[in-house]
Amino acid sequence: MNKKSASEMSFHIETLGCPKNRVDSRRMRTSLLNLGYNEAKKPEAADIFLINSCSFIREAQEETISTVFDALKIKEKKSPHMKVGLVGCFVERFSDAVKNDIPELDFTIGTQRYHEVGGLISEKFSVETAGHAANLAAASINADSHKPFAWLRIAQGCNRSCAFCIIPKIRGELKTYPVDSIEKQWADELALRGAHGTPVREVVLVSQDTISQGVEEIERIVAQLSAKDEIEWIRLQYLFPDRRVLDLLDLWAKYPKLTPYLDIPFQHVSPEILKAMKRPSDTGLFREIIDRAHAITPDFEIRTSFIVGFPGEEEKHFADLEKFIAGHRIDKLALFRYSHEAGTYAGDKLQENTSDEEKYRRINQLREAHLETRKQYATGLIGRREKMLVDEIAGGEITLRRAHDAPESDEVVTIPLPYRASGRSQDDLASAASPATACRVGDMPLVELKAYTEYSFLGEIV
């Protein structure tokens, strides 16, 4: 690879883990494209194979390791010149093990230098670089650029110390991004799509702990994005349940582009377990937040997550969780099996007392209870007409989303395409007669909800 120029080289990025990693992968991609690197048409063809890793819990760690070995296998069998690099959370958390146990890796980069990845790679492998704005425009071949939404990162890291969480150790202290940096991310996003790319109708603001940005700063960002005509929806993700969320909710009255959606991980509802988790144990606040959101509009939807089987959780604590789910309208619920992680307070200092089998049993029980309440609420929405966002047209159907659902994690609405139209190109579809066949990704038609099955709706364009 010596003496090659960046324009002769291609890269592939494999992204694991949460939406925050997707944002960071985009930053790596921008940094490589800016220096003249090309995006590989398929992973095996890449000169540089980057894995943006996750190390949050055991399953994520296993997935990272198997992805690394898959990439190394490609290198060994098909592409010996390929450079394989591991980036992000896993490197930060297991740096010694990565160095000692996977010497085949060509390079590693931690969580603080995503935006410099292009420069770091060029330096390490002596690649000649050039500014290549054209590569940014041409990069709209990337699947993410065909989505009508974009994630923008508003902060990095976390200053809290939840007992089960390794993130502050991996991502470092909270570092908030000023409005200018969000504006820059927005400009990069548009450049990546090019003049004829899919329009961005929705912006999702992500960070590990969005509320710690402070209500004033969040408002500045929301106001700036609200002023952009092409953006229809602004969504905030990952709000730590502290009192400032109550003030934050006032913004919904001022900024109609904010979606009626709150993503607020409670993690548990038993004050005893919350204290053991080193999280605020005022569950009255959780109720206040839900009530305040529903006072803005009764159809405000709440997403939360609970960890099941945390050290010390007994049947009575679990019963509190069940009661809470039955007694409150939680619209989207993520249930996690507690994972005993070395390096976390709980993993190092607390004793596990619940078997994995029992954790799964509890999760299933909660899921059943939630599905029941969700079904009741969702079937009550049948017949409603809402403006929805077309996310995808493929496989004989249109996939849309309500404002109440976040991309790639919540419910969707599908509309089957007429039989003859389903195998045709978007241009063909546009010339056909029915409203469904004329739809394009990024459109926001008025759709009537027709039926609800487990966690998805069937709709019809009005």
Residues in contact with ligand SF4 by CB under 6 A are: 158, 160-162, 165, 167-168, 208-209, 240
- Packing angle of the helix pair 179-193, 215-226 (nearest 10 deg): 30
Q: Report the C-alpha gap between 86 and 66 in whole angstroms.
A: 12
Q: How far is the CB of 414 from ligand SF4 (least distance, A)?
A: 33
Say how far residue 360 (Cα) sits from the centre of its chain.
24
Q: Are 128 and 6 spatial neighbours (Cβ–Cβ below 8 Å)?
A: yes
What separation in angstroms does the CA of 421 have from each of 111, 409, 428, 446, 458?
A: 45, 28, 8, 20, 18
CB-nearer residue toward ligand SF4: 64 or 344: 344
CB-nearer residue toward ligand SF4: 175 or 384: 175
SS3 state at 3: coil
Q: What stretches of 280-384 adopt beta strand conformation (E)? A: 301-308, 332-337
Return the amino acid letter for 109.
I
**Residue 159: count of CB within 10 angstroms of its CB:** 12
Q: How far is the CB of 171 from ligand SF4 (least distance, A)?
A: 8
Q: How far is the CB of 306 from ligand SF4 (least distance, A)?
A: 12
Return the amino acid letter for 282.
D
CB-nearer residue toward ligand SF4: 4 or 169: 169
Q: Report the C-alpha gap between 26 and 88 in whole angstroms.
A: 13
Query: Encoding tokens for residue 417?
Result: 């395409």
Q: How far is the CB of 405 from ligand SF4 (least distance, A)?
A: 22
Q: How far is the CB of 157 from ligand SF4 (least distance, A)?
A: 8
Residue reference for tokens 């953006």: 231
Q: How far is the CB of 59 from ligand SF4 (least distance, A)?
A: 17
DSSP string, 185-252: HHHHHHHHH-TTS----EEEEE-SSGGGG-HHHHHHHHHHHHT-TT--EEEE-----STHHHHHTTHH
Parallel, antiparallel or unpaired: strands 175-176 and 202-206: unpaired
CB-nearer residue toward ligand SF4: 38 or 156: 156
What separation in angstroms does the CA of 221 have from each of 115, 205, 210?
A: 21, 9, 12
SS3 state at 384: coil
Q: How far is the CB of 152 from ligand SF4 (least distance, A)?
A: 18
Q: How far is the CB of 209 from ligand SF4 (least distance, A)?
A: 5
Q: How far is the CB of 31 from ligand SF4 (least distance, A)?
A: 25
CB-nearer residue toward ligand SF4: 160 or 440: 160
Q: Are 387 and 446 spatial neighbours (Cβ–Cβ below 8 Å)?
A: yes
Parallel, antiparallel or unpaired: strands 446-453 and 385-387: antiparallel
CB-nearer residue toward ligand SF4: 168 or 312: 168
CB-nearer residue toward ligand SF4: 145 or 156: 156
Q: Report the C-alpha gap between 265 and 262 in whole angstroms.
A: 9
Q: Report the C-alpha gap between 93 and 111 in whole angstroms.
A: 10
Residue reference for tokens 């994690």: 409
SS3 state at 150: strand
Residue reference for tokens 């419910």: 411
Q: How far is the CB of 168 from ligand SF4 (least distance, A)?
A: 5
DSSP 167: H
CB-nearer residue toward ligand SF4: 30 or 344: 344
CB-nearer residue toward ligand SF4: 263 or 391: 263
Q: Report the C-alpha gap between 93 and 106 in whole angstroms.
A: 18
CB-nearer residue toward ligand SF4: 120 or 350: 350
CB-nearer residue toward ligand SF4: 346 or 439: 346
Q: How far is the CB of 228 from ligand SF4 (least distance, A)?
A: 29
DSSP 86: E
Q: Report the C-alpha gap between 48 and 106 in whole angstroms.
A: 10
CB-nearer residue toward ligand SF4: 277 or 417: 277
Q: How far is the CB of 24 from ligand SF4 (least distance, A)?
A: 15
